[in-house]
């Protein structure tokens, strides 16, 4: 099982869209896939057609009291493919504060996933992280075997990845974990924009083959699919956005096999 | 983009990027004791795929109490952080101001995700709810946003545009805690 944290503290870089669509494309290929919505905005949950505000238990209750609410109890299947969701909730926003006194606060998600795998098997787990480097993101990094970093081709992307790099180095001083980079994914790419091309080239120079060959272009159909509560791959297979994520899924599976 | 301008931009980009470090990301990190991990008892084998996870239609539901509590928590946090931001502004402390502005941005993003008009907050009597007809302020990610935001009203008269720009830039890369 590979546990992939989709992480970048910058908001609006397509973390949620990537987790949802990559997860759906991999599940469509028959791999049992779990999406974990760790972002208090719960957009992944809503994007899968589930209203978080109607849930009385979600990821926040798992993190706060895993004995009372094991991860397995909140997971639901979505969209008639082997795709499952551990829904998020706005209350995750204050879960960070409530977890603060607990010594194991950064290990809660990892423990929950390990407990889950005693009764359920998943091939892939994708964790949608919040746009911050707080306790929730730390939980994702400690639980993950791999990181996937979606990033816009903007100068601030470098500052963001530098901050993430610093945080990971700092975490190694206090926590025990092992994680490697699955890849950096260029998102929100605009065709014909020279600045995007220039920055993408610089990112490739710095990160080498860790940057996915697949690029996710801006595509309005992806936003429309979110309104419909479906990943683009299930909403409009012919849309460029769907084809981008299909290509990414192939590349991710190839990397995992290699 | 003209050729000379493109070259200049590329040069500045490279110079800027050279200040950043990505080694831990590129190489990966591990401080797990490999031997201990190998000696640890293997967890029980996972069972094959089970079809008994709940379909979406059976997910438990609740009333709006959770939403009310969450809005109250966010409203409280917004007020607290605004107070700390004002204090940091008065001290002309860029790092501290940027840190608290980042926290405020995170709260405002959450509020915009669930209640962009402020209507729910007003209905539930949330602390710091915007007045009737007024939306929650937008998060501040650039100097333009800051100029438009009511938060700019907290800036003391002795602070200049450079101070504000530095605070906004610090907020953009500040970790949450």
* Three-class HEC string of chain B: CCHHHHHHHHHHHHHHHCCCCCHHHHHCEECCCHHHHHHCCCCCCCCCCCCCCEEHHHCCCCCCHHHHHHHHHHHHHHHHHHHHHHHHHHCCCHHHHHHHHHHHHHHHHHHHHHCCCCHHHHHCCCCCCCCCCCCCCCCCCCHHHHHHCHHHHHCCCCCCHHHHHHHHHHHHHCCCC
A127 CA: distance to closest CA in chain B (Å): 17
User: Which of A2, A39, A40, A68 to mutate to test binding with chain B, by most B CBs within 10 Å of its CB?
Assistant: A40
Beta bridge partners of A86: A36
Diameter of chain B measured on Cα atoms: 67
Confidence band of A6 (pLDDT split at 50, 70, 90):
very high
A158 CA: distance to closest CA in chain B (Å): 7
- Residues A139-152: tens digit of each pLDDT: 999 999 999 999 98
B66 CA: distance to closest CA in chain A (Å): 7
Most confident of A98-107, A182-191, B168-177: A182-191
| C-beta separation of A34 from A75 below 8 A | yes
Q: Is A221 left (phi over 0), alpha (psi -120 to 50) or beta?
A: alpha
Tell me which chain B residue has its CA closest to the CA of residue A175. B31
DSSP letter, residue A4: E
C-alpha distances (whole Å) from A47 to each of A20, A41, A90, A225, B105 are 8, 11, 15, 8, 23
Q: How high is the pLDDT of residue B49?
A: 43
Q: Which residue in the set A56, A75, A118 is minimally distant from B43, CB to CB?
A: A118
CB contact under 8 A, B25 and A206: no
CB contact under 8 A, B13 and A198: yes
CB contact under 8 A, A90 and B110: yes
CB contact under 8 A, A114 and B175: no
Tokens in use for B65?
Answer: 């109490």
Note whether B49 contacts A: Cβ–Cβ < 8 A. Answer: yes
Helix (H, G, I), strand (E, B) or coil at A220: helix
Is the ipTM higher than 0.90? The answer is no
CB contact under 8 A, B109 and A166: no
Tell me which chain B residue has its CA closest to the CA of residue A180. B28
CB contact under 8 A, B49 and A82: yes
- Compute the distance between CA of residue A10 and CA of residue B60 in angstroms, rounded to an integer: 32
Most confident of A46-50, A62-66, A90-94, A224-228: A62-66
CB contact under 8 A, B53 and A96: no
Nearest to A161 by CA among B23, B128, B15: B23
Q: Which residue has the tokens 């299930």?
A: A234
CB contact under 8 A, A77 and B14: no
Axis crossing angle, helix A156-171 with helix A135-143, rounded to the nearest 10: 70
Q: Does the structure show a pLDDT above 60 at B26?
A: yes
CB contact under 8 A, B48 and A121: yes
User: Which of A8, A93, A124 to mutate to test binding with chain B, by most B CBs within 10 Å of its CB?
Assistant: A93
| pTM beyond 0.80, yes or no | no
Most confident of A45-59, A139-153, B3-17, B78-92: A139-153
Q: Does the structure show a pLDDT above 60 at B50?
A: no
- Residues B105-123: tens digit of each pLDDT: 888 888 887 788 888 888 8
- Residues A169-222: tens digit of each pLDDT: 888 888 899 999 999 999 988 887 888 888 899 899 989 999 999 999 988 888
Beta bridge partners of B96: none
Compute the average pLDDT of residues A87-109.
87
| C-beta separation of A185 from A161 below 8 A | no
Half-sphere exposure of B46 (CA within 13 A, CB side): 14
Confidence band of A125 (pLDDT split at 50, 70, 90):
very high
Q: How high is the pLDDT of residue B43?
A: 45
CB contact under 8 A, A199 and B9: no
Tell me which chain A residues have a C-beta less than 8 angstroms from the C-beta of B58. 76
- Compute the distance between CA of residue A216 and CA of residue B130 in angstroms, rounded to an integer: 37
Tell me which chain A residue has its CA closest to the CA of residue B169. A156
- Residues A51-93: tens digit of each pLDDT: 888 888 999 999 999 999 999 999 999 988 999 999 999 888 8
- Compute the distance between CA of residue A34 and CA of residue A177 in angstroms, rounded to an integer: 21
CB contact under 8 A, B56 and A164: no
Q: Which residue in the set A118, A169, A172 is minimally distant from B44, CB to CB?
A: A118
| C-beta separation of B99 from A134 below 8 A | no
Q: Does the structure show a pLDDT above 90 at A99?
A: no
Q: Does the structure show a pLDDT above 90 at B1?
A: no
Q: Which residue in the set B17, B56, B109 is minimally distant from A50, CB to CB?
A: B56
| C-beta separation of A188 from A218 below 8 A | yes
CB contact under 8 A, A90 and B31: no
B11 CA: distance to closest CA in chain A (Å): 11
Nearest to A41 by CA among A156, A132, A144: A132
Tokens in use for B105?
Answer: 């941005």
- A182-193 in b/e form (b: 16+ CB < 10 A) is bbbbbbbbeeee
Q: How high is the pLDDT of residue B36?
A: 56
Contacts of residue A97, defined as CB under 8 A and 6 or more positions apart, other chains included, come to none
């Amino acid at each position: 099982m590979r546990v992939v944290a989709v992480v970048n503290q910058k908001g609006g870089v397509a973390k949620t869209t990537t987790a949802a669509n990559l997860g759906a494309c991999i599940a469509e290929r028959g791999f049992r896939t779990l999406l974990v919505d760790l972002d208090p905005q719960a957009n992944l949950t809503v994007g899968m057609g589930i209203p978080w505000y109607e849930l009385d238990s979600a990821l926040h209750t798992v993190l706060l009291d895993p004995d009372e609410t094991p991860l397995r109890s909140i997971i639901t299947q979505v969209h008639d493919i082997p795709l499952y969701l551990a829904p998020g909730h706005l209350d995750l926003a204050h879960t960070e504060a409530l977890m603060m006194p607990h010594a194991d606060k950064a290990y809660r998600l990892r423990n929950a996933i390990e407990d889950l795998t005693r009764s359920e098997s998943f091939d892939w787990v994708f964790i949608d992280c919040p746009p911050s480097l707080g306790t929730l993101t730390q939980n994702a990094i400690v639980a993950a075997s791999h990181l996937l970093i979606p990033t816009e081709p903007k100068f601030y992307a470098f500052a963001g990845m530098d901050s993430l790099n610093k945080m990971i180095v700092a975490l190694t001083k206090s926590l025990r974990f092992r994680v490697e980079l699955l890849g950096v994914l260029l998102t929100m790419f605009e065709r014909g924009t020279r600045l995007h091309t220039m920055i993408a080239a610089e990112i490739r120079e710095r990160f080498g083959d860790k940057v996915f060959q697949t690029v996710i272009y801006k595509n309005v159909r992806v936003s429309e699919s979110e309104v419909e509560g479906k990943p683009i791959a299930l909403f409009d297979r012919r849309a460029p956005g769907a084809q981008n994520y299909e290509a990414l899924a192939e590349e991710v599976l190839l990397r995992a096999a290699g | 983009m003209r050729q000379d301008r493109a070259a200049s931009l590329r040069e500045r980009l490279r110079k800027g990027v050279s200040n950043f470090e990505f080694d831990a990301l590129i190489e990966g990190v591990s401080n797990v004791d490999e031997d201990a991990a190998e000696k640890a008892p293997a967890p029980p084998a996972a069972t094959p795929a089970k079809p008994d996870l709940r379909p979406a239609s059976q997910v438990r539901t609740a009333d709006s109490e959770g939403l009310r509590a969450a809005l109250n928590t966010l409203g409280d946090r917004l007020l607290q952080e605004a107070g700390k931001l004002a204090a940091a502004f008065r001290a002309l402390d860029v790092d501290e101001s940027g840190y608290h502005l980042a926290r405020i941005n995170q709260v405002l993003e959450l509020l915009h995700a669930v209640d962009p008009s402020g209507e729910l907050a007003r209905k539930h009597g949330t602390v710091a709810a915007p007045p009737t007809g007024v939306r929650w302020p937008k998060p501040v990610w650039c100097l333009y946003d800051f100029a438009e935001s009511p938060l700019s009203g907290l800036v003391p008269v002795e602070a200049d545009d450079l101070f504000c720009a530095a605070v906004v830039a610090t907020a953009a890369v500040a970790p949450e805690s």
